[in-house]
Amino acid sequence: MDSTNLAAFVKSLSQNFSKARKTNINALSLSVLYMLLGFFISTTLSTIPGQTGDWGIIGAAIIVTFYERISQQTYPLRLGKNFKKIIIHRVNYIKIGILYGLFVDAFKLGS
């Protein structure tokens, strides 16, 4: 059976996609995306309870509690599989984004 242009295009597209998945620039862009997601989460969590003015301490306590629970659940795991490493790295990037967002909010309030 002859190869059609569509089959050649799909094969070329799949090869290019598999090559793109293996590059480090893809990992860099995903890490930046997850940090921005964490930044968005921290901004959301710090502004919603802060609307009333009396929920600031309780909101911070909830954020820190979730932050520490995530650390408690992820770090004792054995890192045998590559999938677990990827998930832990993504969660850590989200945590870095949350911490960065909280620092930015603290500097905004301090100025």
Query: Both tokens of residue 107?
Result: 């500097």
Do 66 and 10 form a contact (C-beta atoms < 8 A)? no
Amino acid in the structure at residue 89: H
Q: What's the pLDDT band for 81 if we cut at 50, 70, 90?
A: low
How many Cα atoms within 13 Å fall on the side-chain side of residue 61?
5
Using one digit for the tens of pLDDT, what is the confidence trace for 23-76? 666 677 888 888 899 899 888 877 776 666 666 677 778 778 877 887 777 676
